[in-house]
Chain A
Amino acid sequence: MKQFIAFVRKEFYHVFRDRKTLLLLFGMPIAEIVLFGFALTNEIKNTRIVVCDYANDAASRRIIDKLEVSANFEIERILMSHQQIEEVFREGKIKLVVVFPANFNNDLTHLNKAQIQLIADASDPNTGGTLTNYASNIIMNYQSELQGLQNIPYQIETDIRMIYNPELKGATNFVPGVMALVLLLISVLMTSVSIVREKENGTMEVLLVSPFKTILVVISKAIPYFFLSLINLSVILLLSVYLLDLPIKGSVLLLFAESALLIITALSLGLLISNSTSSQSTAMIIALLGMMLPTILLSGFMFPIENMPVALQVISNIVPAKWYYIIVKSIMIKGLGFSAIWKETLILVGMTLFLLVLSIKKFKVRLA
């Protein structure tokens, strides 16, 4: 035990002496959360929009005026035909098109009911959502103005079309994604690099000759990164609750327990990588390519898995982040308990055991 403490203390020295890496490890999640946070709360001003006015009557012009006057929009031009809309979007400068049907004023005054179509470019879902909200608000304003004046229940319906990304995945998805990414990055990358560094420096040989148990070498190396990951996790959660107003609906304890599980999965993976390579740069490349890319691409937090080709959907099952992502979303956003996520938890446990057994086997082979 004394030996173990001496070793863990040494590992903490390594971590704290390497200021740059430490800064990066703590700075990165904060930066990511803050960036996503600003993307979320971003107020959009003076966005250039295009109006397609088939009506060209009093009501439509009144609304166009209101749009123009608002701080949010600036009307780039007024189109007269539907064909041009697609072109406008392709150019990419315009994010929102407002379409007034012919007889807009007529419908409104005689049927008390008219429609306006809002077409948004949702390839950036946040912007798309925000723009249509702003426009709808302005239109609603106009509607209540009319109602106030004449006491007739006028109704203007806004028909919102999101093009390019009809699902409009919310940015709330980013927090669980960033959590998975950060935990995996620290745990896989840092453990594997730190073990391989001992090999590269020749200190591993000395450790193997010493009476210190090799399995303890590995455990002591993992401990600082385990705690670092938990601290990072807390920072991310605090930021997401207080900065992004994204409450944790489920049990915080369960969330931490599941995260600890993912950290252990990641540490075993880092161990496996470090046992399979002998240079830091190789370990880093494997960790980055083998871990970061699948986590970003196949965990479902950037791109919906359901939309992928079947082959990729199958492959996504072996990405630990996918299961963790489902777990975190269930706990944080849906507020579900353990009964809803036991399957995913079991899968992660299975992966961890598999990786651990594999890496310990590899470790022994190296010693023979």
Chain B
Amino acid sequence: METATVISTEKLTKRFGNFTAVNEITFDVHQGEIFGFLGANGAGKTTAMRMLCGLSNPTSGKATIAGFDVFRQTEKIKKNIGYMSQKFSLYEDLTILENIRFYGGIYGMDRKTIKTKSIELVEQLGLKEEASTLVRSLPLGWKQKLAFSVAIFHEPKIVFLDEPTGGVDPVTRRQFWDLIYSAAERGITVFVTTHYMDEAEYCNRISMMVDGYIKALDSPANLKRQFGAANMDEVFYQLARGAKRGE
């Protein structure tokens, strides 16, 4: 695994009036890494992620994504990242192929590549038969897998996943993580927020946010050792108990 740094932040801060949503967070993420971004509701995960994606301007601090500055080069950042939102983010009234081609299109991929790659993709996902059915009629698990595949369709350097497996059964979640692993093997860095502690175990490294601060950052094994915990659940409880911001 290469160790080039693809995400690097230094005292990155976001304030809304008097409220400091994200307080001087500093961390690095390496290429091909699966980086878990954990925290209770309201801890500042989503705000931090929005800053990294260029959706929201930081108040102070520094950050570079894929080598580009979040203040001045958001357009270049956007070309190099993929994003899968918390809500299901495909168009239900479009077919699978139309969805894939649409996202390929707005990322400026050329027609030929889109055509060949989209056919490859549906074959890979085992959705060849359904390629021309509306996304609306797919089961949720398939939709999620499709949404992830679409998010990395343009081969981004980094993909941001915002609670990607909400409402999905454990078996499908496991399959979903297989997709994440294969993406990471191809060198795509995966930045994922989650509420599921079993998923946290799958990550290479984890950061725990509490009240806008990063309280802990290490591999799951090291974190368990550090907190003397049997599993990630306990680590999470120990850290989140001190939180002042409510659910």
Contact = CB atoms under 8 A, between A and B. Distances in A.
B93 A18 contact: yes
Interface stretch (A3-11, A99-107, A261-269): A3-11
Given A7-B105, A202-B89, A209 B53 contact: yes
B88 A10 contact: no
A205 interface: yes
B81 interface: yes
Given A3-B107, A201-B88, A210-B83, 20 more contacts: A3-B106, A3-B108, A5-B105, A6-B104, A6-B105, A6-B106, A7-B106, A9-B102, A10-B91, A13-B98, A14-B91, A14-B94, A17-B94, A17-B134, A201-B87, A202-B88, A205-B55, A210-B103, A210-B106, A367-B56
Interface string A113-150: 00000000000000000000000000000000000000
A285 interface: no
Interface residues of B, number: 35
14 contacts: A2-B105, A3-B108, A9-B102, A10-B98, A13-B91, A13-B93, A17-B94, A18-B93, A205-B55, A206-B89, A208-B55, A209-B53, A211-B75, A367-B56
Interface of A: 2-3, 5-7, 9-10, 13-14, 17-18, 201-203, 205-212, 367-368
Give the top 9 A-B pairs by smallest Cβ distance, nearest first: A6-B105, A202-B87, A209-B83, A212-B106, A211-B78, A17-B93, A206-B89, A202-B85, A205-B85
B226 interface: no
Given A6-B105, A10-B94, A368 B89 contact: no
Secondary structure of the A side of the interface?
Answer: helix
A10 B89 CA distance: 14
A6 B91 contact: no
Contacts of B89: 201-203, 205-206
A205 B106 CA distance: 14
Interface of B: 53-57, 75, 78-79, 81, 83-94, 98, 101-108, 110-111, 134, 151, 160
A324 to B, nearest CB: 32
B106 A13 contact: no
Contacts of B94: 10, 13-14, 17
Given A6-B101, A13-B93, A13-B98, A207 B106 contact: yes
Nearest to A212: B106
B47 to A, nearest CB: 13
B78 A202 contact: no
